[in-house]
Structure 1
Amino acid sequence: MSVPAFIDITEEDQASELRAYIKGKGAEISEENSPEGLHMDLTQIIDACDVCLQDDDKDAESVMNSIVSLLLILETEKQEALVQRLCEKLVQFREGERMHPPKPVFFLYFFFPNTPFCSFKGYLSTGAVRRWIVDWDLDTEKKHTLLRLLYEALVDCKKSETAAKVMVELLGSYTEDNASQARLDAHRCIVNALKDPTTFLFDHLLALKPVRFLEGELIHDLLTIFVSGKLSAYVKFYQSNKDFVDSLGLLHEQNTVKMRLLTFLSMAVELQEISFDTMEQELQIGAEEVEAFVIEAVRTKMVHSKIDQTQRKVVVSYSTYRTFGRPQWQQLHENLTSWKQKLSSVKTSLQTLTTT
């Protein structure tokens, strides 16, 4: 069965054609239009439209295109509830069947910009959104809105790493002239990054223009501590701004755990050997907690170290940099240059041996 092309017919006939097609697919729906008018027709059609989603993309898109075209001519006050109803129907079907929605439905976002798409956003994927931005030649405002919607969907799905990348992309698209417009996004980005138990590196956030716009505010001060400060600096900040930190939904205990690890990373970059006494003082832990802490730190794979119980010290073989700027690039250049020279020396020695 092919889907009719609804062209040059009245809205009533289009609704009738949709009813007949959906009923032919097995839906429990009357072929007769509702005496209550188009609004009730669409309500019943949307409730039964999931039978069409099992078709190939072409058929599903034709049906959804027709539904969307009818939604557009409804009275404004009746549109929102039906759009939301359609989104919820599609989300329910996708969750059960693991299928992608028909493409025309995405135009709902632009036809009804004021409709809450909290249910619909489960469809969005990073790759698809980036393609739409290019293919649809979106203006700046719509691009920001679409990326923001994708970010919220990823957060809801607990895909924190991908969500963070999307938010960085969003904030990175602002300029000095409009950075102030992204103040709330920058604030939310910082809070979610600090709250995420798997995120430990934050220096890239400081370079974003909307984040720089927050300089002088407590949220920026807190971020700076997590970028390069020590545990003692965080404790002091919290003691002075407890209500602020709590209002962000951040847990002091979790912040302390994260700052303890970050402080250790800074120490490990500077020192190859760290005494237990230094660990206890800088990390504010007891001697009996040092070993357990080091084990947990190594599990993050951000640092490689061993414990020397006899000499009461931690021996570091590798540590991740909390910040990576010009000094670190310079050090990397020097290390690579030295490595190249040593390889050249080894090559020369081998060549000498093979010719003797």
Structure 2
Amino acid sequence: MSTPVFIDIAVPEQTSELRSYLKSLGAEICEENSESGILTDLKNVVEASTICWKEIQTDGEVEMLFNGIISLILMVPPEGVESLGTLFCEKIVKATTSEKRLGVRVKLLSNLFYGLPDVAPLRYTVYCAMLKLAGQGDLSLVPTDLNMVKEWISQWNISSQKTQHMLRILYDALVEGKMSEQATAVMIELLGTYTEDNASQARDDAHKCIVTCLADPSTYLMDHLLSLKPVKFLEGELIHDLLSIFVSGKLSQYQQFYKNNTDFVNSLGLSHDQNMRKMRLLTFMQMAENKKEIEFSIIQEEMQLSSEQVEEFIIDVLRTKAVRARIDQIQKKVVVISTTHRTFTKHHWQVLRSALTEWQETLKGIEGNFTSLSALQAQVPS
């Protein structure tokens, strides 16, 4: 039996056709529309639609049926569409299907999402459902750009609690999809939504954010986390102490912390070997801030490496591009060209401002010279 397509007939007739078709598949639903109105009828249809995943074998027929339901949902007045759309999302998310059909379910939610007006609050519910599903499989099926998400949040005019809930779901999906850099940005945005009054409520989120940053092999600069109110709330706890070491401590400090709190570090799911690698790099970055030439012997001592491991370590550092330098193998030293600062303090901002001001004055001087030259050329007879 092919799935009927409902075109150019009244909504009650479309609903009746859907009820009849679902009944033919074995769904427990009356073929006749109820007297309560279109909203009740469509809710009955959505409730019964779960049978389609079992009884309809081809994805094309499934999509055709559900797209028919979606087209009817989009006709429902604003006061009723919220509850109906939420029910539809719940049924799609909870549907029992093969992994192969995960993409079809995300596509259906996407059709509803983009069918709704840009400012429709229901889009929030649909987007959260899309993230939950796509997070189980292919996250590329759902837009996750943080700037776009922030624009949507503004359009939907949702509460801070809903904003935090959505960002939390987005974060979990990105972590599941191994998109750690994006996940970190989302978590920082989430933590930024808390104030001093409710920072204590974000304890788990702050904890997650710290662990994610520490575990991410490409994240080295973490001083900005310390200014977040939920992270400040963790001061005095081991997780905050560990973060502080990664922000401004040395390798030896981490080793002492690990020795004293081995079980705690392991409970976070962090790799001690990876932590050691990151702390060696961070310690070297700090050395490079203060020295333009660093001897191999000092690197060997500070990083606790064997003489054979020093050059390999330096090459590893240069691959990260956190430090630009050249290796002088003859004199057994590293010549630092530039380095990324581990912490960006008020002093660093002042230095940057001074440099930009000087650059601005230089450009003004060049512009003045060009103006004078142009004036002189204009005076020369042709």
TM > 0.5: yes
The 1:107/1:51 distance shift into structure 2, 3 A limit, reads farther
TM-aligned CA deviation for residue 203 of structure 1: 0.8
Q: How is 1:200-349 mapped onto 2 (pairs within 5 angstroms)?
A: 200-339=220-359
Secondary structure of the equivalent of 1:317?
strand
Contact residue 73 and residue 81 of structure 2 kept, 8 A:
no
The 1:223/1:32 distance shift into structure 2, 3 A limit, reads same
What do residues 145-202 of structure 1 show as CA deviations (whole Å, max 9, x unaligned)?
Answer: 0110111111111111111111110000100001111100000010011001111111
Secondary structure of the equivalent of 1:258?
helix
Contact residue 103 and residue 134 of structure 2 kept, 8 A:
no
TM-aligned CA deviation for residue 342 of structure 1: 6.4
Aligned to 1:25: none
TM-aligned CA deviation for residue 349 of structure 1: 9.6
Contact residue 18 and residue 63 of structure 1 kept, 8 A:
no
| Separation of aligned partners in 2, 1:281 and 1:132 | 52
Deviating more after overlay: 258-267 vs 100-109: 100-109
| Separation of aligned partners in 1, 2:353 and 2:81 | 63
The 1:342/1:189 distance shift into structure 2, 3 A limit, reads same
Secondary structure of the equivalent of 1:329?
helix
Instruction: Report the identity percentage.
Output: 41
Deviating more after overlay: 199-208 vs 131-140: 131-140
Contact residue 324 and residue 339 of structure 2 kept, 8 A:
yes
Contact residue 25 and residue 52 of structure 2 kept, 8 A:
no
Aligned to 2:50: 43
Secondary structure of the equivalent of 1:327?
helix
Show structure 2 runs of 5+ residues with no match. 30-43, 377-382
Aligned to 2:178: 158
What do residues 238-274 of structure 1 show as CA deviations (whole Å, max 9, x unaligned)?
Answer: 0110000000000100000000000000111111011
The 1:40/1:81 distance shift into structure 2, 3 A limit, reads closer
Aligned to 2:144: 125
TM-aligned CA deviation for residue 325 of structure 1: 1.8
Task: Normalising by structure 2, report the TM-score.
Answer: 0.73
Deviating more after overlay: 45-54 vs 254-263: 45-54
Aligned to 1:184: 204
TM-aligned CA deviation for residue 52 of structure 1: 6.2
Secondary structure of the equivalent of 2:149?
helix
Contact residue 306 and residue 315 of structure 1 kept, 8 A:
yes
Aligned to 2:26: 34
The 1:270/1:81 distance shift into structure 2, 3 A limit, reads same
What do residues 193-233 of structure 1 show as CA deviations (whole Å, max 9, x unaligned)?
Answer: 10011111111111111011000000000001101111111
| Separation of aligned partners in 2, 1:98 and 1:82 | 8
Contact residue 52 and residue 59 of structure 1 kept, 8 A:
no
Task: Normalising by structure 1, report the TM-score.
Answer: 0.77
| Separation of aligned partners in 1, 2:11 and 2:357 | 70
Contact residue 47 and residue 91 of structure 2 kept, 8 A:
no
Secondary structure of the equivalent of 1:281?
helix
Aligned to 2:38: none
The 1:117/1:262 distance shift into structure 2, 3 A limit, reads closer
Which of 174, 189, 213 pairs up with 1:169?
A: 189
1:91 has 2:110 as partner: no
Task: Specify the code of the residue in structure 2 equivalent to 1:319.
Answer: T
| Separation of aligned partners in 1, 2:143 and 2:360 | 46
Task: Specify the code of the residue in structure 2 equivalent to 1:14.
Answer: T
| Separation of aligned partners in 2, 1:348 and 1:137 | 50
Secondary structure of the equivalent of 2:314?
helix
| Root mean square deviation, CA, Å | 4.3
The 1:152/1:310 distance shift into structure 2, 3 A limit, reads same
Aligned to 1:14: 15
TM-aligned CA deviation for residue 45 of structure 1: 3.2
Task: Specify the code of the residue in structure 2 equivalent to 1:119.
Answer: L
Aligned to 1:145: 165
Secondary structure of the equivalent of 1:119?
helix
Task: Specify the code of the residue in structure 2 equivalent to 1:144.
Answer: Q
| Separation of aligned partners in 2, 1:200 and 1:19 | 60
| Separation of aligned partners in 1, 2:9 and 2:199 | 46
Contact residue 147 and residue 167 of structure 1 kept, 8 A:
yes
Secondary structure of the equivalent of 2:335?
strand
Q: How is 1:193-204 mapped onto 2 (pairs within 5 angstroms)?
A: 193-204=213-224
The 1:83/1:258 distance shift into structure 2, 3 A limit, reads closer
The 1:50/1:268 distance shift into structure 2, 3 A limit, reads same
TM-aligned CA deviation for residue 108 of structure 1: 8.9
Secondary structure of the equivalent of 2:336?
strand
Show structure 1 runs of 5+ residues with no match. 21-29
TM-aligned CA deviation for residue 130 of structure 1: 2.7
Task: Specify the code of the residue in structure 1 equivalent to 2:144.
Answer: S
